[in-house]
Chains A and B, each alone.
Chain A
Amino acid sequence: MKFRFHDKTIEAQPGDTVAAALYRSGQRIFSRSFKYHRPRGLLCVSGKCPNCLMNVDGIPNVRTCITPVHEGLRVKAQNAYPSLETDFLSVTQRFDWLMPVGWYYKTFTRPAMWHAVEPAIRKVAGLGEILPSGPREYEHAWMHAHTVVIGGGWAGMQAALAAAERGEQVVLIDDQVALGGQACYRKRMGPRPDAIIARIRAAANIRLLQNSYCFGLYEGNLLGVLQRAPHPGASERLIHLRAQQTVVASGAYEAPIVFPNNDLVGVMLSTGVLRLLHLHRVQAGKRAVVVGKSLQAGEVAEELRDGGIEIVAIVDPDTILKATGSSTVNGIQTRTGHFSCDLVVICGPRIPDNGFVAQAGGRIEWSEPQGAFLPTLPPSNVSAVGDASGEAVANTIAPLPTSKRAFVCLCSDVTSADLCDAVAEGFNHIETLKRYTTATMGPCQGRMCQLSAIGVCARETGRSIGETGMTTSRPPNPGVSLGALAGPKHHPLRRTPMHYAHQDLGVVWLDMGDWQRPRYYTDHLAASEEERVLLEYRAVREAAGLIDVSTLGKLDVRGADSGKLLDKVYTHRFSDLPPGRVRYALMCDEGGIILDDGTVSRISEDRYFVTTTSGNLDFVQQWLEWQICATGWDVHITNVTAGYGAMNLAGPKSRDTLRKLTECDLSSGSFPYMACREAKIKGIPAILLRIGFVGETGWEIHCPAESAEGLWRAILGAGHEFGVRPFGVATQRLLRLEKRHVIVGVDTDALTNPYEADMAWAVKLDKKEFIGKTLLAHAAKDRSRERLVGFVLQSPGVPEDGAAVVVDGQPAGRVTSARYSPAQLAAVGLAWVKTSLAQDGVFIDLRVNGELLKAKVTMKPFYDPEGVRLRQ
């Protein structure tokens, strides 16, 4: 396998990680540090430290030491210019005296100062850059399990097998390249765990999630799991994994020891060196000094010697003065002498990885004999096993010399001297020390530095480690990409049954919620919206127009208590509505605030047909069902929105058009305004409502969705001789505005009651009981607030929606809708004004394009104020 590292081609062997292959090819510097741009090499080789973060295939901050190689990967270093080996910005470490701990807070004391330097600092400091890159797919998945085991080491595998043998469904999560944990690279663990791995793989009820990590344990035992490269079509999958029992078997990781120059390239953790050696057959160096206490260090030295690495010396941490070398380590200076080497192997403290127990609500306390923070009192559904529980962990805390080159936090270059300074400045609590110095806040989330930082804090404050305590473990840890959290870029899209008929006509679409609706039709010609809308407007006013209103919410309401329910939820009365009649329906909440409007038609004695606004259907349906649930009434609601297509034919020629297609008597005598009928149109069963949203003679026709496109084409065909045209939402908005018809949610807001919206006629306070009655009765008496009025602009121009109403130089309201009206030959609209201005003939000022223009208030429709046309 081959992959690219900048302009080099790197050979990789099967099972290699990116970092292992790079190391084998001779790469030693893997990153440059956050603040001082010091060269950094591999340290933990297990995804716990920040040193190997690189940009892989355009994704920044990828932990290359646990990222498997695949053919054609493109890997780049980050935070270094021009290269990892020569980084000009490493000059910053000469100016470390300029940048003491907390220098942001001390230096940039005014916003202006910060704004001046922020761009430069962002360039110099920090992690990788997010580059706009090609499409990357993320997925979300949901899983359930009896038992989830976090960590595929020895203890985790045992726990998974034990649970599987009890017959439980088990999920085993491992973030390393190979199952087995330290059993794969530590001789003292005995033979390689091939047999148990085979049993895990063979168990039918163990689901193995490899190359995956758990980043948080949330309420209800919900685990956030990130699976890398689940399949070629997705780069990451976020799994919402719900467990009944969580077993934390995340083991213990090794942390560095603090001494001057402890961050030089070639200073590595013993587990990192052993991983390279046994998992990847890579010798990390030729001549090594092992740093550690006698027993532990002796074991490691022996294993390395067996692996062909010469051991120069075993050095006790207590005797170390410093590591030597400029960027790569060349030796260790101790009290007794200097040892030359090209590799320093640190046998550091082993930290039980038990953050998930803390996230589950368990307590974590310091155990002096084990030298580690251990979980006590975990919740009943979470347990820690193996090294994560602290068993077999016995640390002695190495000295923490104070030095400006002894790095505690590798993520953001915080030294032991910085921590001492911060404590001296008064940040003597571990939580404030963390926030002030940013130690433990970097990509490693404290894995490498927490114990040392606590140690320094304890020593400097004269407290014990137990008293100093630990910072709080919070998810996500390790980090998760925002793309994975955001998930797939899916957005539901709804199309009406006539969608393709619109497309054939040539259309400009309008997105309304999930729906796509025709904004206006183009006839496949290039023309402006104004021209096309005027054409459609003229057709409706002079001949007839046809609009697709399939997006209206449509509810079929049946049952003995249907009338009672509609009386309760709407302000009008519906129990007395005779079959064959339609009534406008306005819905308010208990506070008398307008929620929705629509129509209610009584199709037969026990069947109502209710329409709602397009966007409020879900809400209205739930609102009705809530009332039914709370009262126990005999009503059944069926949402037939998708089952019916709907279109509105309106205009003086609509009757002539429709007459060609139906035997239903359409004369106003037998089918008057606000009546409804069931009839066949061109053989298609339909519900016809004679209503007039746009102010002309017209019918709203609802028919089965599968026949809607055919009916649409039939009506346009029949109307062709009369000049019937299809019209879109843009034209409908203009037509309804001329009639002063309110659109709920556009002209009203979350504080509007019907009296303010000038719709008192729709509220029947003499009705015994309905939702909002008491407060509406109260509002009917108190009209002190604003009113929604119509206005006609007295000079050319059209106010924008939202334009200010100005009275005596003070803002006194706002415009909610405005359009140029061909009927008035001026801009007309709706505006909220103080009640005192809500009278015919009053003049108000509107701010239009920065100018104040006079407008005349009217409380009547701008077109056909008496409503003669729609009754013809």
Chain B
Amino acid sequence: MQNFTQAFALAFDLMLSADADLLEIIGLSLRVSLMAMAISTLIGLPIGAAIGMSRFRGRGVSIILLNALMGLPPVVVGLGVYLLLSRAGPMGWMGLLYTPTAMIIAQSILITPIIAALSRQVIEDLHNEYAEQFRSLCVSPRTAIAALLWDARYGLLTVALAGFGRAVAEVGAVIIVGGNIEHLTRVMTTAIALETSKGDLALALALGIVLLSIALLVNAAVMGLRMTATRFSYA
């Protein structure tokens, strides 16, 4: 129990002191995971929307596959990306291993299926609701897509946040492809893993609390944005 009280006090101290090293780690965590979220949304959303709106042979299989890929183990993704980016691997010449770019690539691979699978469901549900209207109004596919994406925007925002949450919380992939190098590739989760391995459980837990607070802030910011947008749309 002592560790818990100690951790909360420490977390509070850490956030108040705004220690430069800590800020650097938080900044990198946000940069890597937000970038991974952006890339995954750019790739996953169109895939999800396409599958959600269309009927084709093998659709059922691709949905099952997509849903299963949501369970990709981060360590496996990390290993795969390591083998690709390693100097001995096919993409080794790019020299990307142990850089933030490698971490962004790994997290993007990890969360693209999540974003694709969830947005597929969101779009499909809405499409079923709108299908009759689209048909009766003879709406072109392009307009239909635009309408669906716009009307599903809040649902899709939550989908993107789910992707961000998964990315910012995972440690298995980034510790392999990033290497947890101080001042270069150390992020919140790898710092937590490091402090745990040093036996400094209170500090590790405190960093976990800080990470949670950041996730809270990001989600609150998105909620704030959404509320502002809603207000404008009614004004």
Mutual binders A and B: no
B positions within 8 Å CB-CB of A? none
Binding site for B on A (CB under 8 A): none
